Amino acid sequence: MCPGHRPDSQRWWFQARTRDLFASAANANGDLYKVLSKIQSYSLDATIRGAAETGSPGSDGIVWGQAQYVVRFNAFATAFRANLNSGAVCGQARIGLANALHHEGRHAYQAYLTSQQSNDEDKDWAVDLIPIAPASIIEDSTRMRTVCDPNHDASPGVIGTLMPNWQFNGPTVFDPYYAPSPGQGMSWVWWALEMDAYTFAASPPR
């Protein structure tokens, strides 16, 4: 690609597909629309490591307490263009651009929840009230739940590892986004956010 020349065909294709996906969400019962409405805007970026991302606190300018968030997509991703099954992550199916949009939209929604009154007192991104299912994976409590480490495969051909019996420190004691090193502590908020996003996107509300 020549520097300074926009990949216009990619942009047109992507724009048409995302417009359809947003339109179908608006016709649904409302919950999917509420989630997608937390995407402030999306940009196309062929340099991101994965096919889509919302970013992480501290590394991509993600700011706690905002009402909406920016999502980046790589419109060149083959799985998006051909609507391919990319394989389940932590047991949750992933097919095409719709799945990625719903996954990243859920990340935007998770982050939006920090902007709600007294919903994240310790500002660790695990929250007290999650109005749209799944309602308890990112809950800031000591209740046991299963989370997802997407970066380590449980076995060959099985993407991600389910981490059972996970719990957090509760609403007023800060939980780290990442643990100091893998296997240390029970405080990987990021793993809960991913389990929540993969679960939501595998069967979004209709």
Residue closer to Zn ion by CB (options 139, 194) is 194
DSSP, res 89:
B
17 Cβ neighbours under 8 A, 6+ residues apart: 80, 97
Q: Are 134 and 109 in contact (CB under 8 A)?
A: no
Residues 112-151 that bind Zn ion (CB under 5 A): none
Q: How many residues bind Zn ion (CB under 5 A)?
A: 2
Cα-only R_g, the chain: 17
Report in angstroms how near the CB of residue 10 gets to Zn ion at its nearest.
22
CB of 59 to Zn ion, least distance (A): 14
* Residue whose CB is less far from Zn ion, 30 or 50: 50
* Residue showing the smallest CB distance to Zn ion in the complex: 197
Does position 89 interact with Zn ion (CB under 5 A)? The reply is no
Site residues for Zn ion, 159-198, by CB under 5 A, read 194, 197
In this complex, which beta carbon is closest to Zn ion, that of residue 79 or of residue 197?
197
3-state secondary structure of 154: coil
CB of residue 107 to Zn ion, shortest distance in Å: 6
Half-sphere exposure of 202 (CA within 13 A, CB side): 16
Q: Which residues have C-beta within 8 Å of that of residue 130, sequence separation ≥ 6?
A: 113, 136, 138, 139
* Contact residues: Zn ion, CB under 5 A: 194, 197
